[in-house]
Amino acid sequence: MAKRTIIWLNSAKQERKEIFNYWNERNKSVRFSKKLQQAITRSYSLINNTPERFKYLGSKGMRYILIAKNYFLVFTFTDTQIITHAFWDARQNPDKLSKRIK
């Protein structure tokens, strides 16, 4: 299968930015953010190869993959694209995510 183009919706980009900024400030280092970005990159490789294997999240064909223990990507896919709808900290209230992806 050809490699799918990765698209981040603006809201997902903002979530990722806020999470990275939080850790950079808290740790006074970008080390954890870099590790998290590497986990994201590895996750996209798995999604690209077999997107159907990941569990559904609600409706609209959204699926998710858990990365780095406490974070997950919410995505949909086509033959040519992986669309990231959310980059989510799993320790947050799940109702907040449900409202966000409706």
**Closest of 54, 93, 91, 92 to residue 74, by C-alpha:** 54
The reported pLDDT for the residue numbered 41 is 95
Which amino acid is present at 37?
Q
pTM for the predicted model, two decimal places: 0.87
pLDDT tens, residue by residue, 41-75: 999 999 999 999 999 987 788 999 999 889 999 99
Which residue range forms the structural domain that includes residue 47?
5-101
User: Going along the chain, which residue ranges are E strands?
Assistant: 5-8, 63-67, 71-77, 81-89
More confident residue, 83 or 57: 83
Domain count, the chain: 1
Residue identified by tokens 């959310």 is 86
CATH of the domain at 9: 3.30.2310.20
What confidence tier does 102 reach under pLDDT thresholds 50, 70, 90? Answer: low
- SS3 of 79-97: the string is CCEEEEEEEEECCCCHHHH
